[in-house]
Amino acid sequence: MQARFYANMRTIIGMSSLEINDAHVDSFRKLVAELVKLYPETAVHLLDSNGNLRPDVPVYVDGRNPRLMTAGIDSPLRPDSVVSFFSPISSGKMNVEVMREPKE
């Protein structure tokens, strides 16, 4: 399968794409674990403090958000899958949280 990286994720990984040919990496969750193993600096960008995929990280498996798939982040990957990782989105989320703060 191919993992593609955009924006800051490309800078962190140091390349625009990476071929993963490991038969054990057969789900999105396992791909994220493999990336963190190969590139430990990605952990802070991909995972929250509990080791779960951060909700503000845009990711797509074959053009679809794995969070919306039936199996979620355990969605299976095929040898020809293309997984895209984008930089975390903070400004939009942060602005919504600021707007929702109770006013004194």
CB 54 within 8 A of CB 48: yes
Point out which residues pair with 18 in neighbouring strands.
3
> How does pLDDT run along the chain (104 residues), one tens digit per residue?
999 999 889 999 999 999 999 999 999 999 999 999 999 999 999 999 998 999 989 999 999 999 999 999 999 999 999 999 998 765 544 434 333 444 44
The residue segments making up the domain with residue 60 are 2-100
* Among candidate residues 79, 103, 92, the one with its CA nearest the CA of residue 26: 79
CA angle 75, 64, 13 (to 5 degrees): 80
* Among candidate residues 13, 37, 51, 24, the one with its CA nearest the CA of residue 84: 13
How many domains does the chain divide into?
1
Q: pTM for this structure? A: 0.80
CATH, residue 33 = 3.10.20.30
* Among candidate residues 85, 90, 91, 95, the one with its CA nearest the CA of residue 31: 85
State residue 89's pLDDT score.
Answer: 66
